[in-house]
Structure 1
Amino acid sequence: MKPNSNNTSLILLHPYIQKQGTSSKIWLLAFLSFFTLAFLLLLLVCTRPSTPITAASVVSSATTTTTTTPLPTTVINTLLYYASRSNDSFHMSHSELKPISDVLRKCSTPCNFLIFGLTQETLLWKALNHNGRTVFIDENRYYAAFFEEKHPEIDAYDVQYTTKRSELKELVTTVREQTRNECRPVQNLLFSECRLGLNDLPNHVYEVDWDVILVDGPRGDWPDAPGRMSAIYTAGVLARSKKGGNLKTHVFVHDFNGEVERVCSEEFLCSENLVEASDTLGHYLVERMDENCFQFCHNTTSFGS
């Protein structure tokens, strides 16, 4: 017999039947939720690391991630080769570039490299000191600004020199007379009143422990030109006043055949610290000193000898 469709509809809509269906759905949803939560907890327990994640492990991981590799030797040799190919007399030769490059390559950590003078080798120094800190100091404010604008990766600052090459003898004599006062070999030059001390550089320059310093500026060899007296003196003080890092600083002086370069190097970098020298490049290894030391060199020669 054909079922009565009207009666069937009444049975399906009976309140008791509806209540039972809703209750079953709620229990089913609760069961599924509980099962899903239990599965997730089991998954987390089974896949957790064998060692706990601690602050030390995070630091170690970050250190490993940021570790950088040095430039390959073939790349360094290629850069030196092409940089020394120019016939321009203002370019350094391969024999001048190589000792500086070798020192940069041997740094145990990325080097802190300070250069007095923006020259044809500026981009080369930046490239060779791969991953290190490279800062340039120049006497020409406009050239420093132009160079930074053209090469944003270059960190360059200008400085006002107040010396003249013709004052060489007077300035050296003044420093000798004030080695226990304003011209001490160990001091914070930011607060120095020594005539040869550069005290208007950015503050952070005095706070960095420089591993390598190159004096290749300021430019000019006429009597009223600034000369490199202040740059060499400042390099000597920065090397002796280091607070940390390596105990010794490599200081290179370019154009070593000049009177100012040789006299000031002997006076403030000292012959006992001379590693090697040619007519064009002097290489000194200057050691950090105690702040109670008031003598640049163990043996001071008479000026002009």
Structure 2
Amino acid sequence: MRPKTQYPTGLKLILICLFVLLLLFLVLRSSFSSSQLQNSSLISAIYPSNIIASSSSPSSENSQEQSQSSTATTSNDCPPAETLVPTCTKISPSLANAIVHYATLNITPQQTFKEISVSLRVLEKKSPCNFLVFGLGHDSLMWTALNHGGRTVFLEEDKSWIEQVQRQLPNLESYHVTYDTKVTQADEMMEVGMREDCKVVGDPRFSKCGLALKGFPSEVYDIEWDLIMVDAPTGWHDEAPGRMTAIYTAGLMARNRESGETDVFVHDVDRDVEDKFSKTFLCEGYLREQEGRIRHFTIPSHRARLGRPFCP
């Protein structure tokens, strides 16, 4: 029988050290695996699962291609809901058309920025609404865009001008109307307006007042207008129709609505006719604001309160 091998003391120490190192390695490996699992759980909690999948699975080329395709589609449309980027929205077609139209137009609208701002403040409160405009001009698309979702109607005396505008802007709603007056008749027509027949509130089509316009399309009379802009007919020379009847009729339609009030705007009040007729038939008591050449009147319904005087 062979005797047991006797290990030197130094060799025993080396074996003990190796065992301790092995034990330490196993403990550290266990701790590292636990920490990695916790980190993975934390990442899953912070980031959506689809993002983790796309970043941690490089082995599948198809998955990467699908992820890239999805990202490209998202960037061209709207950002995904899980990101913090605000959702994208489209501007209205009427506003888009207006931006392009005025960006390429070399003609400045007749009203100034401050004058337009008077009507804009009212439209911001009332639109979408019913907006009647006497006159078809370079600012017509602007009024339609500012009243997006509402109905904006234009009344124009020049038939050839309507055809020209409609070729460029076919979506504008406009009607041809005629006037049988002249600026030189303004004083005579002011006397007519002072008669009692012109103080009676009613449908202009059935009014006995000589200032009431009766030749508009029937729907112009049937609609209750929230805003009326008087910027026509032509009134800058003696043979022009003048705005005497337009101003009176605008005031009559405002008074004849069943309830509520109508905001009436008159442009070019630096001229004698617009100045006198607006103060007389829209009433200084209803005047709310004047900016440059435009006046803003707010006229309440006279049918809602019987006995209300023509002017306050």
Q: What's the TM-score bracket when you normalise by the shorter of the two chains?
A: 0.5 to 0.7
Q: How does 1:228-239 map to 2 (within 5 A)?
A: 228-239=243-254
Aligned pairs for 1:126-275 (under 5 A) are: 126-177=144-195, 179=196, 181=197, 183-244=198-259, 247-275=260-288
The Cα of 1:295 is off from its aligned counterpart by 4.6
SS in structure 2 of the partner of residue 283 of structure 1: strand
- Secondary structure of 1:269's counterpart equals helix
Q: In structure 1, what is the equivalent of residue 134 of structure 2?
A: 116
Unmatched runs of 5 consecutive residues or more in structure 1: 1-68, 299-305
CA-to-partner distance for each residue in 1:144-190, whole Å, 9 max, x for gaps?
2332343221110111111111111111111211x3x3x24411112
Distance 1:83 1:255 in 2: 23
How is 1:10-29 mapped onto 2 (pairs within 5 angstroms)?
Answer: none
Task: Check the 8 A contact 1:267/1:296 in 2, yes or no.
Answer: no
- Residues in 2 aligned to 1:123 and 1:117: alpha-carbon distance in whole angstroms: 12
Match of 1:96 in 2: 115
Letter in 2 for 1:100: S
Which piece of structure 1 moves more, 288-297 or 88-97? Answer: 288-297
Structure 1 residues 85 and 260, CA gap change in structure 2 (3 angstroms): farther
- Please, which moves more after superposition, 218-227 or 206-215? 218-227
Cα deviation, residue 140, structure 1: 1.1
Separation (CA, whole Å) in 2 of partners of 1:83 and 1:264: 33
Distance 2:210 2:109 in 1: 29
Query: Aligned letter for 2:277?
Result: C
Q: Is the 8 A contact 1:104 1:128 kept in 2?
A: yes
1:226 aligns to what SS in structure 2?
A: coil
Q: 1:105 aligned to 124, 131, 137, which one?
A: 124
Higher-Rg structure is 2
Separation in 1 of the partners of 2:103 and 2:274?
23
Shift, 1:96, TM fit: 1.0
Identify if the C-alpha distance between structure 1 residues 276 and 190 changes in structure 2 by more than 3 Å, giving closer, same or farther. Answer: same
Instruction: Give unmatched runs, 5+ long, in structure 2.
Output: 1-88
How well do the aligned residues superpose, as a CA RMSD in angstroms?
2.9
Give the AA of the match of 1:283.
H
SS at match of 2:194: helix
Q: Does the 8 Å contact 1:84/1:91 carry over to 2?
A: no
**CA 169–100 in structure 1, closer or farther in 2 if over 3 Å, else same:** same
Matched AA of 2:231: D
